[in-house]
Structure 1
Amino acid sequence: MADAEGGEKTEEPTRKKLDDALKRGDVAKSQELNVWFGLAAATLTISVFGDGAVASLGQALLRFLESPQTIAVDGVSLRAMAGGLGLAVAAALALPMLLLALAAIAGNMVQHPPLVTAEPITPKLSKISPFAGFKRIFSAESLVNFTKGLVKIGIVGVVIWMVVWPERARVSALTASDVAAMLPVLKELTLRVLVASVAVFAVIAVGDYLWQRHRWRERLKMSLQEVRDEHKQQEGDPHVKARIRRIRQERSSKRMMAAVPSATVVIANPTHYAVALKYEAGMNAPLCVAKGVDALALRIRTLAEESGVAVVENPPLARSLHAVLEVDREIPAEHYKAVAEVIGFVMRRKTRR
């Protein structure tokens, strides 16, 4: 039981723990999912833009094959030729490269929202420590990653063999074909290999993402003591909160008692309730300056008598006012008549005196 409460991490991470991890850039991330997006984008690029890109590049390079002797080799001509060739290559590859870049971004965004943090690039001694590097290289995680790499290579090899082996006769015949006849066959085989790889890697990527997310949450698990400490930090120590509440009550009581001598009347139940009201010309309604029950009510009543403030015993009114009134608030309208009679009585008695 002591181990469970102390160091053993058995509790699911709290929302704050997860948010802190995200702020540090510590997220569940699967490289296999990025690879799958890259393969899917490459397959789409070759199938949609492959012919157009090859035709554009072929047109740009045709001059080098047909009439290389006409190419001027002086400085100005070479710069112009290099610039034109660069523009042609950029135009041919712009859309495919854009699609691959979007795939790389999408592979990260489907795993976690965009983050801006300097934590991963913050200099740390552990990153340059030979001992820490040795531990990372020969850790269980590195062994798992190495095994996964071998398994992936084996799966991809099997997929390529299953696609290419039945077409071995066509592939052998390509050696006697010209380039124009070779390209469509190579494109077809390449697309078939890529489509098969995308299908296989979809299963690998989903499985790896679920595994990485499981390991990430396991790594962020908390002990019971950590949960308690975090709760204290967020909600405050209960002992400190109780002490603050007690101090506030004491200060409020002192303010009330200081206001009792300025009251006009104290309406009391003989032993249980006391409500001190103040009324002056120009006020909308009498104001409650102090109230209390039992010992506090007795203190209010005693201080009022010592200060010459009238004390009127009216148990029903005292209980009713105490239930609905807050200190420094005016009495509600339904008590105007009853309170007015009491204050009128007090005023008349003062006038007679």
Structure 2
Amino acid sequence: MAEDSGQERTEEPTSRRLQQAREKGQVARSKELGTSAVLLAAAVALAMMGPKLAQALASIMTNLFTIERANIYDVDAMLRVWGTVGSELMFPVLGIVTLLALVAFIGNIALGGLSFSTKAFMPKGNKLNPMNGFKRMFGTQALVELTKGIAKFSVVAISAYTLLSIYFEDIMQLSASHLPTNVFEGLNLLSWMFIILCSSTLLIVVIDVPFQIWNHNKQLKMTKQEVKDEYKDTEGKPEVKGRIRQQQREIAQRRMVAEVPNADAIVVNPEHYAVAIKYDADKAAAPYVIAKGVDTVAFKIREIAREHDVAIVSAPPLARAIYHTTKIDQQIPDGLFIAVAQVLAYVFQLKQYQKGRGRRPTPIPTEQPIPEELRY
């Protein structure tokens, strides 16, 4: 899309983009990290297993250079020699190979983590295009790899020359030593030189790892249009989401309005606001709101209240205060207790009067005791 629209990839990759890249096997990797880890592991393994390996080699050479007359005519002597060689070398060689295999696995997943994707094995037609091949050969990535190759060769060559210059006299003195002393000394010297030489490759790793992370992030960067398209795919189109929210509001309103017949009183203002209040001592310690609305919804609440003979009380300040401070199925604030109690008392007395059991109640006062912070 970036090529079609002409937009630059300036946006950081989203979590979905990163997840899709991982599913395709596209993660940040550093070959230099894996190579350096294996080389260092080999050097350390040689230092650890060197003495045992030297003993095994010395024992093998002693057996091979000591030939008894009976073995010359024994056709099975060669098989026994190979069995001795295998038994002597098995433990040190197996230890080195096991350590190298473990470090090779860890070194290759240290950057980017463990990732397995079948999509990475699928054949791609663009790989067969010769022009794409030439672009890869002479592109920026090829130039980077060439630079790294030259840098690795230079670092290793300079380190090797420096080590040979430092240990030249020690190497030459090995020829003057006797078996098996020269073997042990040679392996010890070789192991330390190998460790130092492999450590020099860490200089390339320190440069390559940040570069691979940066390059991977750069390849996954997105255009502004791609970010918008992804947001639409994941979150849905704004008009669709708006329609869904509208339907949810309508469903919630229908459920809310259906509770109006159960209200004890409807507090109104007198046309724009309507709040349905109910007091149930078994459910809550204070009166709570079961429905509320403005304009059209308020008109619907009043209409249903008249159909079911629910008392409608005009108290504009109280209606506005309850509407703005209390949610559905929530108890009214403490500051409105007295005002609501007056309304409910008036409604209960009115019901008793309508049944012929008392005198007509006094209308509630125009100004209810509502705190300033709850007035709207």
Same fold (TM over 0.5): yes
SS at match of 1:231: helix
Instruction: Name the structure 1 match of 2:148.
Output: 148
Distance 1:143 1:126, change over 3 A: farther
Instruction: Name the structure 1 match of 2:355.
Output: 351
Answer whether contact 2:264 2:344 (CA < 8 A) is retained: no
- Pairing of 1:128-207 with structure 2 (within 5 A): 129=128, 131=130, 136-137=136-137, 139-165=139-165, 180=180, 183=183, 186-187=186-187, 190-191=190-191, 193-207=193-207
Answer whether contact 2:269 2:320 (CA < 8 A) is retained: yes
**1:253 is the counterpart of 2:253:** yes
CA distance in 1, matches of 2:312, 2:176: 120
CA distance in 1, matches of 2:140, 2:200: 26
Distance 1:351 1:80, change over 3 A: farther
Distance 1:279 1:38, change over 3 A: closer
Instruction: Name the structure 1 match of 2:123.
Output: 124
Answer whether contact 1:28 1:216 (CA < 8 A) is retained: yes
Q: Letter of the aligned partner of 2:341 in structure 1?
A: K
Among 339, 342, 345, which residue is 1:338 paired with?
Answer: 342
- Pairing of 1:74-153 with structure 2 (within 5 A): 74=76, 82-83=82-83, 85-120=85-120, 122-126=121-125, 129=128, 131=130, 136-137=136-137, 139-153=139-153
SS at match of 1:290: strand
How much does 1:304 deviate? Answer: 2.8
Note the alpha carbon deviations across 1:136-191, whole angstroms, 9 max, x for none: 45544234323432442343233323333566677678778776575456446534
Distance 1:57 1:292, change over 3 A: same
| Unaligned stretches of 5+ residues in structure 1 | none
How well do the aligned residues superpose, as a CA RMSD in angstroms?
A: 3.9
Answer whether contact 2:54 2:187 (CA < 8 A) is retained: no
Answer whether contact 1:164 1:189 (CA < 8 A) is retained: no
Instruction: Name the structure 1 match of 2:291.
Output: 290
Answer whether contact 1:266 1:277 (CA < 8 A) is retained: yes
SS at match of 2:200: helix
Answer whether contact 1:38 1:103 (CA < 8 A) is retained: yes
Instruction: Name the structure 2 match of 1:311.
Output: 312
How much does 1:206 deviate? Answer: 0.8
Instruction: Name the structure 2 match of 1:17.
Output: 17
Note the alpha carbon deviations across 1:222-260, whole angstroms, 9 max, x for none: 111122223334444333322222222222333344444
Instruction: Name the structure 2 match of 1:326.
Output: 327
Note the alpha carbon deviations across 1:287-329, whole angstroms, 9 max, x for none: 6442112343234224433554332223344334334443355
Bigger Cα displacement from structure 2, 246-255 vs 281-290: 281-290
CA distance in 2, matches of 1:254, 1:323: 20
CA distance in 2, matches of 1:159, 1:283: 83
CA distance in 2, matches of 1:175, 1:78: 30
Answer whether contact 1:163 1:192 (CA < 8 A) is retained: no
SS at match of 2:355: helix
Instruction: Name the structure 2 match of 1:222.
Output: 222
Answer whether contact 1:11 1:221 (CA < 8 A) is retained: yes
Bigger Cα displacement from structure 2, 186-195 vs 269-278: 186-195
Bigger Cα displacement from structure 2, 166-175 vs 146-155: 166-175
SS at match of 1:352: coil
SS at match of 1:10: coil
Distance 1:328 1:350, change over 3 A: farther
Instruction: Name the structure 1 match of 2:232.
Output: 232
CA distance in 2, matches of 1:281, 1:197: 84
Distance 1:251 1:346, change over 3 A: farther
- Pairing of 1:33-72 with structure 2 (within 5 A): 33-60=33-60, 62-67=62-67, 70=71, 72=74
Instruction: Name the structure 2 match of 1:211.
Output: 211
SS at match of 1:26: coil
Q: Letter of the aligned partner of 1:305 in structure 2?
A: R
Distance 1:352 1:47, change over 3 A: same
Task: Say which structure, 1 or 2, has more relative contact order (CA 8 Å, 6+ apart).
Answer: 1
TM-score by length of 2: 0.75
CA distance in 2, matches of 1:193, 1:283: 83
Answer whether contact 1:34 1:104 (CA < 8 A) is retained: yes
Distance 1:44 1:30, change over 3 A: same
TM-score by length of 1: 0.79
Note the alpha carbon deviations across 1:83-115, whole angstroms, 9 max, x for none: 554333221223222332333234234323333
SS at match of 1:312: strand
Equivalent pairs counted in the alignment come to 349
Distance 1:261 1:80, change over 3 A: same
SS at match of 1:214: helix
Answer whether contact 1:4 1:10 (CA < 8 A) is retained: no
| Unaligned stretches of 5+ residues in structure 2 | 358-376
Instruction: Name the structure 1 match of 2:366.
Output: none
CA distance in 2, matches of 1:272, 1:306: 19
Instruction: Name the structure 2 match of 1:73.
Output: 75
